[in-house]
């Protein structure tokens, strides 16, 4: 299954999981259980090859999740496994997070700098961006040693490139 198909197929599962978890006020718990399930898959990767291997090894898979999932989530996993879709579980997790962030009005913002920012500056940037886009934000800080200096701020909806390289490029265009 290629990437586009995995993304397409995972969407209805993620929507169903989010809708159900929201109805019972357990979205954080379901996020945790999805994360733990993806981790358990890493320890039993051979079960992804087909449903036959899953049937033989499902005990090991569910033992890895013992005490971490509830009966509703276990049924959700069984449906995914029955449809031979465990391979898309990481995509379901990713989509679940996207849906959850949209529901909670959260935007993921990546801040790229050459050096680590101090906490005060990071909080100030978060505050300014949050006020500008009228959303709560979660920051992913990335240190990029190849950056000459400055800062690049990226989100799904915008890019603010205040890097020295970008400024030099603009200056050379002007001259």
Residue 49 has which token pair? Answer: 């090859």
Please give the helix or strand (H or E) that residue 110 lies within, else none. Answer: strand 106-113
Give strand pairing partners of 136: 106
Please state the pTM of the whole predicted model. Answer: 0.75
Domain 3-102 has CATH 3.40.50.300: no
Given a contact cutoff of 8 angstroms between Cβ atoms, the answer to whether 47 and 54 are in contact is yes
- Over pLDDT 70: what percentage of the chain? 84
Residue 34 has which token pair? Answer: 């999805």
Task: For residues 88 and 149, give the distance between their C-alpha atoms in angstroms, rounded to a whole number.
Answer: 39
Q: Tell me the pLDDT tens digit for each residue of 86-127.
A: 888 999 999 999 999 999 999 999 999 988 889 999 999 999
Task: For residues 111 and 94, give the distance between their C-alpha atoms in angstroms, rounded to a whole number.
Answer: 20
């Amino acid at each position: 299954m290629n990437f586009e198909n995995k993304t397409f197929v995972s969407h209805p599962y993620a929507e169903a999981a989010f809708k159900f978890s929201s109805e019972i006020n357990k979205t954080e718990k379901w996020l945790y259980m999805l994360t733990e399930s993806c981790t358990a898959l890493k320890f039993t990767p051979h079960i992804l090859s087909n449903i036959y291997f899953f049937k033989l090894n499902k005990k090991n898979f569910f033992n890895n999740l013992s005490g971490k999932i509830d009966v509703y989530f276990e049924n959700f996993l069984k449906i995914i496994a029955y449809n031979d879709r465990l391979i898309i579980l990481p995509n379901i997790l990713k989509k679940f997070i996207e849906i959850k962030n949209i529901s909670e009005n959260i935007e993921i913002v990546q801040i790229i700098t050459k050096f680590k920012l101090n906490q005060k500056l990071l909080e100030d940037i978060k505050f300014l961006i949050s006020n500008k886009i009228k959303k709560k934000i979660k920051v992913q800080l990335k240190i990029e040693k190849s950056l000459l200096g400055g800062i690049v701020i990226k989100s799904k909806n915008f890019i603010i490139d205040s890097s020295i390289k970008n400024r030099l490029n603009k200056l050379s265009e002007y001259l």
